[in-house]
Amino acid sequence: MAKKKVFITYKIPEAGINLLRKNGFSVEVYSKEKLITRQELIRNVKDADALISLLTDKIDREIIDKMERCRIIANYAVGFNNIDIDYARNKGIIVTNTPDVLTDSTADLTMTLVLACARRLNEGERIMRQKQFKGWRPELLLGYELKDKIFGIIGMGRIGLAVARRAFAFGCRIIYYSNNKKSEAEKLFNAKKVSLKTLMKSSDIISLHIPLNNKTKTLINSDYLNLMKKTAIFINTARGEVIDENHLISLLKKKKIFAAGFDVYKNEPDINPELVKLDNVVLLPHIGSATVEARSAMAKLAAKNVIAVLTGKKPITPVN
């Protein structure tokens, strides 16, 4: 009897691939050092029993219709806005994601961006690399301390809670905007639930941790962005499309806010060229989960979801 085929659209850590092979599956991995093209994806999913996809892979109706045998799409990401969830469900295909395992890595990176913005690290490093440092001066690259700052978290889910824990350890006062009251955050960190308008007006640091969907697309629009303090720091490690990126850039250009840190972008992987020109931004290439621990755990979780479904068990982290 032929082995069931699992197709993976890009090489993931060996921990996941080995787990699939140990459980008797035939694993085919797209081997080129670039993202898979649409044509190549269509060609490879036709006879696949399972697909492990990246967030960059658009799995729409056309792709799903080519899946003659597929029973599960295991997205190697927490987000799944790249997949037509409802259509997959109608076709009897289960969709899973990889939550929880990248919580700490993303929270760590969020605080990295906060500190880099607050202490102007990119400007300082550039001065050193370009050999422009002329000696200590009282007002050289003045930034801000985190102690007693109001830290506003938009989206108090797993990652938001992990960020609150870190910000609280730095002595920040936590406020948050969420659909529901978060008792754990309020008990542990004395966090206060506020309206989005209040959060944008009051916060010294604003950090985004919401998924991308129809309700959150451009949720942080120009009206909300205009409410920020001139000394505010804005951090986005969620999705580029949840903010009005162009308007945020205009505020940064006019020095209407202090700084911003980006790990995600509206037209990723393309980046607005105006961002590159700005000194008061820190730019990272979507590396929120880029730790050995997180990426290996994501690979294992995606593999376990595939193994569960293809052996007749329930998926571990279904989204549809």
Are the CB atoms for 173 and 151 separated by under 8 Å?
yes
pLDDT in tens, 134-162: 999 999 999 999 999 999 999 999 999 99
Rounded to whole angstroms, how far apart are CA atoms 242 and 240?
Answer: 6
Helix axes 103-118, 292-310, angle to 10 degrees: 150
pTM attached to this predicted model: 0.92
Amino acid 95 reads: V
Tens digits of residue pLDDT in 16-36:
999 999 999 999 999 998 999
Mean residue pLDDT across the chain:
97
Strands across the sheet containing 50-53? 26-29, 5-8, 50-53, 72-75, 94-96
* Measured distance CA(268)–CA(284) in Å, rounded: 12
User: Is the pLDDT confidence value at 1 over 80?
Assistant: no
Give the closest residue to 100 by CA, choosing from 317, 264, 318, 319. 317
Active site residue 239: yes
Beta strands in 31-88 (DSSP E): 50-53, 72-75
pLDDT digits (tens, 9 = 90+) for 37-61: 999 999 999 999 999 999 999 999 9
Closest CA to 45 of 13, 70, 22: 70
Tokens of 159: 């990652």
What dihedral angle (degrees, nearest 10) is formed by the CA atoms of 17, 82, 178, 225? 120
Choosing from 21, 119, 165, 268, which is the catalytic residue? 268
The per-residue pLDDT for range 238-271, each reduced to its tens digit, is 999 999 999 999 999 999 999 999 999 999 999 9
| Catalytic one of 239, 241, 245, 295 | 239
